[in-house]
Amino acid sequence: MGDKPTIAISHLGCEKNRIDTEHMLGLLVEAGYGVDTNEELADYVIVNTCSFIEAAREESVRTLVELAEANKKIVITGCMAQHFQSQLLEELPEAVAVVGTGDYHKIVNVIERVEQGERVKLVSAEPTYIADENTPRYRTTTEGVAYLRVAEGCDYRCAFCIIPHLRGNQRSRTIESIVAEAKQLASQGVKEIILISQITTNYGLDIYGKPKLAELLRALGEVDVPWIRMHYAYPTGLTPEVMAAIQETPNFLPYLDLPLQHSHPEILRAMNRPWQGRVNDGIIDRIKSALPSAVLRTTFIVGFPGETQEHFEHLLEFIQRHEFDHVGVFTFSPEEGTPAFNLPNQLPQEVMAERHHRVMELQQPISQKQNQREVGKIVDVLIEQENPESGELIGRSGRFSPEVDGQVYVKGVGAASHREAKLGTIVPVAIQSADAYDLYGQVVNSH
């Protein structure tokens, strides 16, 4: 190893951030740096921060302050670095570098400069970088799963969202590049590839002149990996071609994450959502009839400025009617630098909290009912954790995406099943019971 410093990375935020973390790790390892998971032993700690909403920023700040108090040399990367560059350097003397979202691939150079005694600020005003299949990468997910970024940045300008400001406009990778990386991941034994970008249904628009998601899915159908899942599909981008590609590509899970954010046309207009009120024109029903086996996940924001009781009742009725499998709810968080920050009629925190509670309360029995339908079926489960004491295994079926949805708790049946049900493998499980979040079952012996 010689005299190179050791480096730990503290990862905060979403899976898009996670991929940046994995590339930084890959580049550092390739350059001969020791990478340590233990922050106490490392010479430097890279904190890959999130700046999406207030709560995420608070977590980032807490992490930074704790490391500063432990006298760590901190390199701040990610969305918060992009967002508050000068401020961070001013307020945290322990920060030796601030690196923006479009510059993380220069991390080795940053560490070299810091080692020379320089305090580095490397933040491109307009991020344009996107890694490809040749960028070194060190995966941090469980062995069976990998995220695959198909595009970075976003061309939409939703009133509440700071992301385009932090990550730049959409830039897609070519189909060839994505397929090449998918093949690399498959050869490493990955069983589930999750496609991510800010808006996956707009994939390819910038480089091909029109969205090419259907073509991408069909090309990925040729890759030898059992499960491919997609995050962040805008309903209007789920064209008949895309739906047909999902249906006809056997390894593509019919799992759709639709970030709807609201149902009322007036609120959607205030949010500057690209298709405004069209979520009410039967689009969800069309998706369900085109893909009867589809698992639908969505997220909503309650308490957007100007949301009246009537707007909120509209949302409740919408949730009740469509019976989504999974619903995530956020309370509105005013982000400086976004149009919604200065909107009149901001709602009091207790009203937002009450609305959040009501949505969760409404959704629970719906999620329970949807999970209940799995009871009695034999489903494929990707095993991700095992308890050596009890022999209990924990994994996910195609219904559940990592970290945001539920899990499947699996009882083994003696040593024979355990030989087959190893971490990172997909095994058949007979589902015996369900609650609002999780499923419970037993490995089906193939003997």
Q: What pLDDT is recorded for position 193? A: 98
**Boundary (domain end) residue, out of 107, 122, 137:** 122
Residues placed in the known binding site for [4Fe-4S] cluster:
14, 50, 79, 154, 158, 161
Residue 135 domain-assigned?
no
The domain spanning residue 37 has which CATH number?
A: 3.40.50.12160
Are 48 and 64 in contact by the 8 Å Cβ rule? The answer is no
Task: Check whether residue 307 and residue 397 sit in a common domain.
Answer: no
Read off the pTM.
0.92
Q: Give the span between the Cα atoms of 304 and 158, in whole angstroms.
A: 12
Task: Check whether residue 153 and residue 273 sit in a common domain.
Answer: yes
Residue 134 domain-assigned?
no
The domain spanning residue 302 has which CATH number?
A: 3.80.30.20
Q: What pLDDT is recorded for position 328? A: 95
Q: What pLDDT is recorded for position 281? A: 81
- What dihedral do alpha carbons 374, 145, 191, 393 form, nearest 10°? -50
Task: Check whether residue 386 and residue 353 sit in a common domain.
Answer: no
Residues of the chain with pLDDT under 70: 1-2, 52-53, 275-277, 413-420, 446-447
Are 121 and 106 in contact by the 8 Å Cβ rule? The answer is no
Task: Check whether residue 65 and residue 81 sit in a common domain.
Answer: yes
Task: Check whether residue 324 and residue 255 sit in a common domain.
Answer: yes
Residues placed in the known binding site:
14, 50, 79, 154, 158, 161
Residue 128 domain-assigned?
no
Q: What pLDDT is recorded for position 1? A: 47
Task: Check whether residue 54 and residue 157 sit in a common domain.
Answer: no
Cα 272 to its chain centre, rounded Å, is 22
Residue 208 domain-assigned?
yes
Q: Which of 338, 345, 360, 343 is nearest to 311 (CA)?
A: 345
Residue 1 domain-assigned?
no
Are 179 and 251 in contact by the 8 Å Cβ rule? The answer is no
> pLDDT of 51-99, one tens digit each?
766 777 788 888 888 887 887 899 999 988 888 888 888 888 889 999 9
Task: Check whether residue 232 and residue 262 sit in a common domain.
Answer: yes
Name the residue range of residue 196's domain: 145-372
Task: Check whether residue 174 and residue 217 sit in a common domain.
Answer: yes
> pLDDT of 260-317, one tens digit each?
999 999 999 999 987 666 788 888 999 999 999 999 999 999 999 999 999 999 999 9
> What distances in angstroms separate CA 126 from CA 14, 191, 252, one per listed residue?
21, 35, 34
Q: What pLDDT is recorded for position 273? A: 86
> What distances in angstroms separate CA 334 from CA 210, 267, 299, 384, one per listed residue?
33, 15, 17, 37
Residue 285 domain-assigned?
yes
Sheet holding 95-99, edge to edge: 34-35, 6-11, 44-49, 73-78, 95-99, 120-122
Task: Check whether residue 22 and residue 90 sit in a common domain.
Answer: yes
Task: Check whether residue 196 and residue 241 sit in a common domain.
Answer: yes
The domain spanning residue 430 has which CATH number?
A: 2.40.50.140
Task: Check whether residue 179 and residue 328 sit in a common domain.
Answer: yes
Residue 108 DSSP label: H
Q: Give the span between the Cα atoms of 304 and 287, in whole angstroms.
A: 27
**Boundary (domain end) residue, out of 372, 394, 426:** 372
Number of domains in the chain: 3
Task: Check whether residue 278 and residue 388 sit in a common domain.
Answer: no
> What distances in angstroms separate CA 379 from CA 298, 392, 429, one per listed residue?
23, 17, 5
